[in-house]
Chains A and B, each alone.
Chain A
């Protein structure tokens, strides 16, 4: 009974992410956020556009994405300016563009460029067991080069090996589940929320405690994937498809391997962005991070500038030192990064009210148990940026007055609760295409290379069918 109640409670928390429930929450809260809930409408509108327009007006959507993004951004910015003043609106937009979006898109861009310059050629044929191996490898790699790095590095070889097959969307979907999200839980390099935790005093290798959960999720998801992929593989064979294996023996060649150096450069830049701000030389007397002042309280910090410079340098060197033929073989185009860059400008701007409301109300949600934190952090990370979401719940947990557990800059947090917040924020980014940046990139690359990916809602159906049951098991086994 207790578990059922817990589950229902979790579902209720998930509903909090919908505007109507949040409105109720707002009305109940005595000191509700200054930002009214209707300001989340542009965010919901943009999400609906991303979900529906490719289905009903595909060509129009492709041409007019920037216009739609601009329109929804204005629908948020103008009323916000009216309510809180133009200066405040400008500051809010600049804050999220300079401090969040800029580093986010530069990191994606760098990894996209570098990974696009590494190609694998050979005649290894995509079969269920090879695919399971590739997904397992990618998942384990994610924690060490980041979910985005692993996704960009692995997606093309996966698509290429399975080029002979027709039914292959499940491969890319589970790739997003595991490589682009769940795999990033072991280190702060893996996923930005954990880096945020590291910056707030969580030890670098603490996240390795999540290994049993990762292994459990990998085993369950890869087993399910094997069954689904085997079914599709048999259908492919039955319809007469076959890989070209006429040559005896398998030859696998990697070209552009030197780009791994640039990949390491980018990973180093990410680590630096997490460690430099706490060094005295990058802080003023009040402990604020130094940087270039832009407007109001918006400052582009020196650590961020260093990170951006290193990443851009790595991308530049990668392009300069790699044969153009490799990019041609990889079908390297700017389409995927362009789409993500445009859509996420809108997502980052329009989700500000939702984040502000969450920040204001996070501590009033009455979340005191690890499983509650797991679902709340997860449900919100499915649609919002998981880094601030993680931070809100870490702050909430830190303010609950626990005396035992992990001592962080935000207070003491019980280990189980910290694990739940970390897992929720990292794992549940896989629930939607917009839950984590590499999700959309992987989808776009797959779309461009002959894989028929599900629509926005179609993908959610996949995650509801396969991910949510695994997360329920996670809750029962690890967070109750």
Chain B
């Protein structure tokens, strides 16, 4: 058994022990490993491999021990504590180093869908997460790529689905999570409006919001729901998702995906912004872009703890000014197709062909999308 297998087995046993203790106690006060199994196991493996963190894993184990000691049934407690002691011994006797000599981060590599040839199972779907800077043509590239791959393209649809989950009435559309749309259907001035606090809320409205969003700030509740939705969708279909910290959500939930960051030189983006918003002067366009970049940076950092646009966070970063919109789409399409030829995408695309009518319903019209790059929102980071 390889080192990795051994560690995985140990991590799984720790997770199972926690689950077992929790089940025995029937408590509702929370457990040590409160995320899904796969994530917890991966985190535990990481802790065990990084031996400098060994004290952390022992401390987490001792929390399980604390809970286990309160199991009332003596036999059950003895069984659990025996397993606990065994695990503790094994954790203590782990070797000091697991260095392999390769720069590869297996965890990241396993999630990078460009490597899918090796490990893209039949159950995994093709998920492409595109982050983009405003004015780099990200929306059009994402849309055209989805069209070419015959998979779904999601942007504002995600937000609409979240609204449904919250059972929000139409009037609630005017509040901060407007995502570019006012109740009368007109566009908001800037995407940042979507995140401004609602004005003049009555006490009753405050309570209503508090209850609707489970005591969370509205934007956090929306983010959590979007995360849930994206993870659910990733189990069912192939798609391109624009922004919404999609790459980090996929990574955190151990869902194989391709993450792409599309940008272009600032001057080029200013030019394109002025083309989209013909009423803007060059000064206004520059200010507008700087403001959007600031907001996206803040939003991305808030929800992911990472720096937006930092190449380390993506599988691929593209300067769209070097290829143009269609060129970038072709480039990406060739890469995706080349790596999946004979295995994943082709059947998926074929399947999508057969369900063309359905896909067309979800995929926005190419021409409409190409007309103008819609107002960005920090969520689309």
Interface size (A, Cβ < 8 Å)?
Answer: 45
Within 8 A of A (CB), among B277-311: 302-306
A-binding segment of B213-221, B259-267, B318-326: B213-221
Contact of A448 among B70, B214, B221 (CB under 8 A): B70
Known: A160-B28, A452-B59. A127 touches B215 (CB 8 A): yes
Q: Give min CB distance, A245 to chain B, whole Å.
A: 4
Interface residue A241 (Cβ < 8 Å from any Cβ of B): yes
Interface residue B27 (Cβ < 8 Å from any Cβ of A): yes
Contact of B166 among A129, A164, A243, A248 (CB under 8 A): A248
B-binding segment of A191-199, A312-320, A327-335: A327-335
Contact B63 A452 (CB under 8 A): yes
Chain A residues closer than 8 Å to B27, beta-carbon distance: 328-331, 449
Instruction: Render B23-35 as a binary contact track against A, CB cut-off 8 A, 1 for contact.
Output: 0011111111011
Contact B30 A162 (CB under 8 A): yes
Look across to chain B and name the residue whose beta carbon is closest to the beta carbon of A127: B216
Interface residue B62 (Cβ < 8 Å from any Cβ of A): yes
> Complex Cα distance A440/B164, Å?
45
Interface residue A125 (Cβ < 8 Å from any Cβ of B): yes
Contact of A328 among B26, B63, B224, B228 (CB under 8 A): B26
> Complex Cα distance A87/B212, Å?
67
> Complex Cα distance A307/B205, Å?
46
Chain B residues closer than 8 Å to A451, beta-carbon distance: 30, 63
> Complex Cα distance A235/B34, Å?
15
> Complex Cα distance A127/B224, Å?
13
Contact B214 A160 (CB under 8 A): no
Interface residue B171 (Cβ < 8 Å from any Cβ of A): no
> Complex Cα distance A450/B31, Å?
5
Known: A234-B302, A331-B70. A156 touches B216 (CB 8 A): no
Contact A250 B70 (CB under 8 A): no
Contact of B214 among A58, A62, A123, A235 (CB under 8 A): A123
Within 8 A of A (CB), among B228-286: 228, 248-249, 251-253
Chain B residues closer than 8 Å to A416, beta-carbon distance: none
Chain B residues closer than 8 Å to A335, beta-carbon distance: 69-70
Interface residue A200 (Cβ < 8 Å from any Cβ of B): no
Chain B residues closer than 8 Å to A333, beta-carbon distance: 70
Chain B residues closer than 8 Å to A237, beta-carbon distance: 220, 223, 302-303
Interface residue B66 (Cβ < 8 Å from any Cβ of A): yes
Interface residue A223 (Cβ < 8 Å from any Cβ of B): no
Contact A163 B31 (CB under 8 A): yes
Contact of B29 among A165, A238, A241, A331 (CB under 8 A): A331
Instruction: Render A179-197 as a binary contact track against B, CB cut-off 8 A, 1 for contact.
Output: 0000000000000000000
Contact A238 B306 (CB under 8 A): yes
> Complex Cα distance A245/B34, Å?
15
Interface residue B167 (Cβ < 8 Å from any Cβ of A): yes
Closest 6 CB pairs of A and B: A240-B252, A163-B30, A331-B27, A238-B305, A333-B70, A248-B167
A-B contact pairs, 23 of them (CB 8 A): A124-B214, A124-B215, A163-B28, A163-B30, A163-B34, A164-B30, A165-B34, A238-B303, A239-B252, A239-B305, A241-B34, A243-B216, A245-B214, A245-B224, A246-B225, A248-B165, A249-B211, A250-B212, A328-B27, A335-B70, A449-B27, A451-B63, A452-B59
Chain A residues closer than 8 Å to B35, beta-carbon distance: 240-241
Interface residue B51 (Cβ < 8 Å from any Cβ of A): no
Chain B residues closer than 8 Å to A250, beta-carbon distance: 210-215
Instruction: Render A148-177 as a binary contact track against B, CB cut-off 8 A, 1 for contact.
Output: 000000001001111111100000000000
Most buried by A among B29, B63, B305: B29
Interface residue A447 (Cβ < 8 Å from any Cβ of B): yes
Look across to chain B and name the residue whose beta carbon is closest to the beta carbon of A121: B28
Look across to chain B and name the residue whose beta carbon is closest to the beta carbon of A333: B70
Q: Give min CB distance, A330 to chain B, whole Å.
A: 7
Interface residue B345 (Cβ < 8 Å from any Cβ of A): no
Contact of A450 among B63, B213, B214, B225 (CB under 8 A): B63
Chain A residues closer than 8 Å to B177, beta-carbon distance: none
Chain A residues closer than 8 Å to B25, beta-carbon distance: 328, 331
Within 8 A of A (CB), among B178-224: 210-217, 220-221, 223-224
Chain A residues closer than 8 Å to B305, beta-carbon distance: 234-235, 238-239
Look across to chain B and name the residue whose beta carbon is closest to the beta carbon of A162: B30
Known: A124-B215, A160-B28, A450-B31. A245 touches B221 (CB 8 A): yes
Interface residue A130 (Cβ < 8 Å from any Cβ of B): yes
Q: Give min CB distance, B34 to chain A, whole Å.
A: 6
Interface residue B67 (Cβ < 8 Å from any Cβ of A): yes
Interface residue B20 (Cβ < 8 Å from any Cβ of A): no
Interface residue A242 (Cβ < 8 Å from any Cβ of B): yes
Within 8 A of B (CB), among A187-245: 234-235, 237-243, 245
Contact of A243 among B60, B69, B224 (CB under 8 A): B224
Look across to chain B and name the residue whose beta carbon is closest to the beta carbon of A334: B70
Q: Give min CB distance, B249 to chain A, whole Å.
A: 7
Q: Give min CB distance, B148 to chain A, whole Å.
A: 31
Look across to chain A and name the residue whose beta carbon is closest to the beta carbon of B250: A240
Q: Give min CB distance, A297 to chain B, whole Å.
A: 41
Q: Give min CB distance, A272 to chain B, whole Å.
A: 33
Interface residue B131 (Cβ < 8 Å from any Cβ of A): no
Q: A124-B215, A241-B34 are in contact. List 11 more A-B contacts (CB 8 A).
A: A121-B28, A125-B216, A129-B217, A237-B303, A242-B224, A243-B214, A246-B225, A249-B167, A447-B66, A448-B70, A449-B27
Chain B residues closer than 8 Å to A239, beta-carbon distance: 252, 305
Q: Give min CB distance, A458 to chain B, whole Å.
A: 11
Known: A124-B215, A239-B252, A240-B253. A159 touches B30 (CB 8 A): yes
Chain A residues closer than 8 Å to B249, beta-carbon distance: 240
> Complex Cα distance A166/B34, Å?
8
Contact A245 B225 (CB under 8 A): yes
Chain B residues closer than 8 Å to A162, beta-carbon distance: 30
> Complex Cα distance A241/B251, Å?
12
Instruction: Render B58-74 as a binary contact track against A, CB cut-off 8 A, 1 for contact.
Output: 01101100110110000
Chain B residues closer than 8 Å to A161, beta-carbon distance: 215
Q: Give min CB distance, B28 to chain A, whole Å.
A: 5
Look across to chain B and name the residue whose beta carbon is closest to the beta carbon of A128: B217
Contact A448 B66 (CB under 8 A): yes
Interface residue B227 (Cβ < 8 Å from any Cβ of A): yes
Chain A residues closer than 8 Å to B210, beta-carbon distance: 250
Chain B residues closer than 8 Å to A124, beta-carbon distance: 214-215
Instruction: Render A6-19 as a binary contact track against B, CB cut-off 8 A, 1 for contact.
Output: 00000000000000
Contact A447 B167 (CB under 8 A): no
